[in-house]
């Protein structure tokens, strides 16, 4: 009979800077577990949010006893607004599929890195979900650029973002997932919503089908503004690529901004 379970890396402060920090001291997988099915990272403030600052962090899992890498995903705790904004909406938690096989008890380590510095420290934690069954689907890997990029302030301008490289060794590679996230990194202006189109391009894709996706719009009001994001934009795709693929990201605003904000996006892929 199949059984599932979950455990948590200890919630740990990432400070106010952008240095990588280990969450707790690692956890051992249960002896009966035969797969890591997924993770659910979370990220929260230790004090009041600061105007014109978004809260976004990378979460990465590593291990010396089981092959994991790359498992680099993103988590958002929402956006600061303008002036004495009165509320923040933290986005819905995201589950990231892994399907990583386990042959015995393994020691896992989890690391958090804030994408941008914040005035107030944020804490990150991560739930790990196991199964007593071996994976029934290919293992999923996750990759992202190291750094975020400033948006344009003009509509219709395709801004060049970060790059990432995915590798599958001697195996073939297929991109199965996309995610895209613009967020606050500058002064928010009343009546200026944040949304647009995110794009992934590579000369190493096996076909010419485009990968363009709409991001989750964040709406602005008429008074004290906070750009609320309820959920990150994610898509399921099927894009065969070369075993080593360099991917360039782009973002095009649909609504002009008085101040530049930030964007970042990444992919999930399998090896076959």
- Model confidence pLDDT, tens digit, residues 195-221: 999 999 999 999 999 999 999 999 888
- Cite the beta strand spans of the chain per DSSP E: 4-13, 21-22, 27-28, 35-45, 54-63, 72-79, 96-101, 107-114, 122-131, 140-143, 149-150, 158-167, 173-183, 196-201, 211-214, 233-241, 244-253, 262-271
State the average pLDDT over residues 146-162.
Answer: 98
CA distances from 48 to 84, 118, 185, 269 (A): 11, 11, 16, 37
Per the model's pLDDT, the better-predicted residue between 228 and 119 turns out to be: 119
pLDDT of 189 above 70: yes
Tokens of 1: 């009979």
State the average pLDDT over residues 136-147.
Answer: 97
Tokens of 228: 């609320």
State the average pLDDT over residues 95-107.
Answer: 95
State the average pLDDT over residues 133-157.
Answer: 97
pLDDT of 259 above 80: yes
Q: Residue 84: its pLDDT value, please?
A: 79
pTM: 0.96
State the average pLDDT over residues 148-176.
Answer: 95
Q: Residue 182: its pLDDT value, please?
A: 96
Please report, rounded to a whole number, the percentage of residues in the chain having pLDDT higher than 70. 100
Tokens of 157: 């301008």
- Per 3-state DSSP, the chain is made up of helix, strand and coil in percentages (nearest 5) of 0, 50, 50
Is residue 212 within 8 A of residue 197, CB to CB? The reply is yes
Q: Residue 224: its pLDDT value, please?
A: 61
Is residue 194 within 8 A of residue 185, CB to CB? The reply is no
> Phi and psi (nearest 5°) for 190?
-55, 145
Q: Dihedral angle at the C-alpha atoms of 38, 120, 262, 268, nearest 10 degrees?
A: -10
**C-beta atoms surrounding 263 within 10 Å:** 27
- Model confidence pLDDT, tens digit, residues 45-79: 999 999 999 999 999 999 988 988 999 999 998 99
Where helices occur in 34-80 by DSSP H, the ranges are none
- Model confidence pLDDT, tens digit, residues 3-14: 999 999 999 999
Which of these, 188, 196, 248, lies nearest to 220 by C-alpha position?
A: 188
Which of these, 225, 221, 216, lies nearest to 196 by C-alpha position?
A: 216
Q: Share the mean pLDDT of the chain.
A: 95
pLDDT of 226 above 90: no
Tokens of 116: 């941008």
Q: Residue 107: its pLDDT value, please?
A: 96
Per the model's pLDDT, the better-predicted residue between 233 and 88 turns out to be: 233
- Determine the Cα–Cα distance for residues 237 and 202; give it in Å rounded to an integer: 15
pLDDT of 166 above 90: yes
* Domain definitions of the chain by residue range: 4-271
């Amino acid at each position: 009979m199949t059984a599932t379970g979950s455990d948590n890396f200890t919630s740990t402060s990432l400070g106010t800077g952008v240095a990588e920090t280990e969450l707790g001291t690692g956890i051992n997988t249960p002896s009966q577990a035969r797969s890591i099915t997924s993770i659910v990272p979370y990220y929260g403030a230790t004090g009041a949010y600061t105007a014109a600052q978004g809260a976004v962090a990378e979460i990465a899992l590593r291990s010396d006893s089981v092959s994991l890498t790359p498992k680099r995903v993103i988590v958002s705790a929402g956006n600061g607004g303008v002036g004495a904004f009165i509320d923040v909406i933290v986005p819905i938690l995201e589950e990231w599929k892994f399907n990583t096989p386990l042959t015995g008890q393994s020691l896992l380590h989890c690391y958090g890195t804030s994408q941008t510095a914040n005035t107030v420290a944020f804490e990150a934690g991560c739930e790990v979900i196991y199964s007593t069954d071996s994976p029934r689907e290919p293992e999923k890997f996750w990759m992202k650029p190291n750094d975020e990029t400033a948006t344009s302030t003009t509509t219709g301008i395709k801004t060049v973002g970060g790059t990432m490289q995915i590798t599958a060794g001697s195996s073939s590679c297929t991109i199965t997932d996309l995610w895209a996230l613009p967020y606050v990194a500058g002064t928010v202006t009343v009546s200026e919503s944040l949304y647009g189109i995110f794009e992934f391009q590579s000369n190493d894709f096996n076909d010419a089908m485009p990968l363009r996706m709409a991001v989750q719009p964040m709406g602005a009001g008429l008074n004290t503004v906070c750009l609320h994001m309820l959920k990150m934009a994610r898509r399921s795709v099927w894009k065969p690529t070369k075993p080593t693929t360099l991917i360039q990201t782009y973002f095009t605003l649909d609504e002009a901004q008085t101040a530049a904000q930030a964007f970042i996006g990444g992919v999930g892929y399998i090896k076959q």
